Amino acid sequence: MRIAASALIFALLVPSAPAVAGMHEVKMLNRNETGPMVYEPDFLQVAPGDTVKFIKTTSGHNAATIDGMVPEGNPGFLGQINEEIEIKLDQEGFYGIKCSPHYGMGMVMVIRVGDAARPASFPADNVPQRARKRFEDILGRNGFGK
């Protein structure tokens, strides 16, 4: 009985460990089972404060946000070609990501941070046709179709 009481007092007095932010990896690929020029995965649901690492698996790719497809006030990011980058995402919302050289071929992905609703303007009006089709497929498979 005395040990149980001591354990209870210890548990109440010692603060719990702070939450640890998550790390998510995304591969930049020439091809997978869904087709050519893809990110794997092509959709991520992350918590605010989580980090996404873009992994170079083949040459010629990068990861960059798409103008007009980040939460308002977010500056976005631009990785260099063949660069592995880690991006910490603190702001809730939807992020449209592209591979700059393969954007027109539809190399895009979606990151949803937190519980944000899909903006009406996502994807943006000026998205190339192949990228738009892939965005709609990604969003539909993940419960965010229009």
pTM for the structure as a whole: 0.86
Type of residue at 134: R
78 DSSP assignment: B
Residue burial 81-106, b: 16+ Cβ < 10 Å; e: rest:
eeeebebebeeebbbbbbbeebbebb
By C-alpha distance, which of 111, 90, 108 is closest to 99? 108
Q: Output the tens digit of pLDDT for each of the chain's 146 residues.
A: 555 555 444 444 555 445 667 999 999 999 999 899 999 999 999 999 999 999 999 999 999 999 999 999 999 999 999 999 999 999 999 999 999 999 999 999 999 999 999 999 999 999 999 999 999 999 999 999 87
